[in-house]
Structure 1
Amino acid sequence: MLIFDNQMGLAAHLNSLRTPKPTTGFVPTMGALHAGHLSLLSQSVDDNDITVISIFVNPTQFNNPEDLKKYPRTLAADVEKVKSVSADIIVFAPSVSDIYGDNPISRHFDFDGLENQMEGKFRPGHFDGVGTIVKRLFEIVEPTNAYFGEKDFQQLQIVRKLVSKYEIPVNIVLCPIFRESNGLAMSSRNERLSPETRQKAAVIYKSLQAAKQHFGTKSVSELRDIVKGVLSAEKEFELEYFEVADEKTLVPVEKTENNEKYRAFIAVFANDVRLIDTISLN
């Protein structure tokens, strides 16, 4: 298995493979890999001649320094998990200085308002950081296809807008959410939960399922009350937001219309660990 810790080495190796030009799949991650990540890798391996995974905890997308400090970093274990999918997958695990030099700051992006909703509202500057690192990684890897999980649906729409506005020649592939046996959406942050809290966190998905069950017969305000009621069963879980939003624009709505696609978005604190999830409503 090839592991590169700098962009020059990776780019040189990929260029050596591009005669004739193969298809390249790319899975950008921040590590602490789980089965959801591995499913993205498996799909990339099936779809492409070459697969690259990046493992990089990007400092510019954290608006909370403590969250950045506590984010799990498990490179050795991650490499073994990647190898279990295929030893031919190329791992790119750069340092912060290799990506940003001496100045790890993000550039500003205009994503036509997508960046101002939900996560953007509660995590100022987050999507500037996402846009900065994803654009840079696309420039380094030059993938044919890039794979993203549905759990981060807002991020997916941001990346699609990035690709469109900057005319980046990459196909963005949406992959389904992988869930733990209790329904909790798989996330690297789950590693920070105690076993007991991790089991109780099933209540997040239960609240989304309840919203979906009543969608179309209840108002958005009533759906929000239903979600709050489900979450209230577990006292250590604090709702940050629940929104029903237009799937294309991500603009939250209070009234829904026929023939439009809507999605529920939720962010919950489990003690000091912030968890997000989403579900298509129609």
Structure 2
Amino acid sequence: MSSLKLPESTIPLLTNPTSCREWRQQIRGDHKSVGFVATMGALHAGHLSLVRHSKQANDKTVVSIFVNPAQFAPHEDLSAYPRTIEQDLRGLEEIGGVDAVFLPGVKDMYPFGIVQDVEQQRGTFVEVKGYGSEMEGRSRPSFFRGVATVVTKLFNVVEPTRVYFGQKDIQQALLLRRMCSDLLLSHPEPRNLHIVPTERDRTDNLALSSRNAYLSSEERKVANALYRALSLAKGVWETGLSKSECVARSRGFVESVRDNAGVEMRLDYIELNDSDSLEVVGDDKTKVDYGTRPVLLSGALWVGRTRLIDNLILGDPALLGILDSHVEVKV
């Protein structure tokens, strides 16, 4: 980003780690708290909800926009990811702005270069063993390695007091909280990594995602099938039926939608995982168990060429540090 001409903005734009560290040093001298929202751009209402939470709780808020190559496998089209910097900045300005936007380039974040093929990568990377191989990690084996690496770099530069991630990416949030604990990070401390409930389309409850822009009009009509399947599984689980029955009925629902959709649909997975270990829950799991430790009900669904993810919490979301749904910020 730093090598490109930047759009005009009322928000200070920090284009490399040095300028961001200088900005942070000034805040440190004033003893101000710093909230941080890490994004890959293409901002939507879900991102802005994270920003609002940060603005409410902190003296200063900084947002990063960086499309991280290490999160994309070789077969995934990095170049196709939406890049909408002017629109992103306007969206931030419309909610009253933030105190800074960090816009590093690839060379800034990976000084010695980066390739998408893990086997060809050289240098230092961060991996959260076990956590990164469950749930989404089963389908995208190197994804969380890329996430943990870039977020560690961002935390090192921004040194945030508090950080905010969305529940839609619940595994990412819990994995990063574990990473903060394992690496003894002070900025942020693990307890200051906050999870904000998923923002959904008001008409059909589709989880908001930058990737929704890939959907055709016909695909969009059936894109909420995953949410509906997870809701069905949750209802089945709460009646006391087994995990296997929950999954079977929800998969059957997706198959029935697929058979009448008129567009290509393929279910990747629907699964229940322990919220502490992220390991798959067995049929012997009971509601008594998740009274103190919630279960993650999650899934991934291909609609056309777009891969959608979603999740619901079985149990009390507050036990995972998930914040209240909405905040009001005066602008």
Q: For 2:44 and 2:82, how far apart are their aligned partners in 1?
A: 12
Determine whether 1:254 maps to 2:282: yes
1:1-282 to 2 correspondences below 5 Å: 1-104=11-114, 105=121, 107-169=124-186, 170=188, 171-181=192-202, 182-216=204-238, 217-232=240-255, 233-235=257-259, 236-255=264-283, 256-257=285-286, 258-260=288-290, 261-282=294-315
* TM-score (normalised: structure 2): 0.82
SS in 1 for 2:268: strand
Distance 1:108 1:95, change over 3 A: closer
Counterpart residue type for residue 89 of structure 2: V
Instruction: Identify the range of structure 1 (19-28 vs 211-220) with the bigger mean alpha-carbon deviation.
Output: 211-220
Contact conserved, 1:82 with 1:89, CA < 8 A, in 2? no
Counterpart residue type for residue 111 of structure 1: V
- Unpaired runs of at least 5, structure 1: none
Contact conserved, 2:73 with 2:142, CA < 8 A, in 1? yes
Q: For 2:26 and 2:126, how far apart are their aligned partners in 1?
A: 33
Instruction: Identify the range of structure 1 (164-173 vs 211-220) with the bigger mean alpha-carbon deviation.
Output: 211-220
- Displaced runs of 4+ in structure 1, greater than 6 A? none
Q: For 2:131 and 2:170, how far apart are their aligned partners in 1?
A: 11
Q: For 2:243 and 2:265, how far apart are their aligned partners in 1?
A: 21
Distance 1:13 1:193, change over 3 A: same
Quote the offset at 1:249 in angstroms: 1.0
- Unpaired runs of at least 5, structure 2: 1-10, 115-120, 316-331
Contact conserved, 2:92 with 2:98, CA < 8 A, in 1? no
* TM-score (normalised: structure 1): 0.95
Quote the offset at 1:108 in angstroms: 4.3
SS in 2 for 1:167: coil
Q: For 1:130 and 1:141, how far apart are their aligned partners in 2?
A: 16
Contact conserved, 1:83 with 1:89, CA < 8 A, in 2? no
Q: For 1:160 and 1:88, how far apart are their aligned partners in 2?
A: 24
Deviations 1:129-154 (A, max 9, x none): 11110000000000000000001110
Quote the offset at 1:267 in angstroms: 0.7
Distance 1:77 1:52, change over 3 A: same
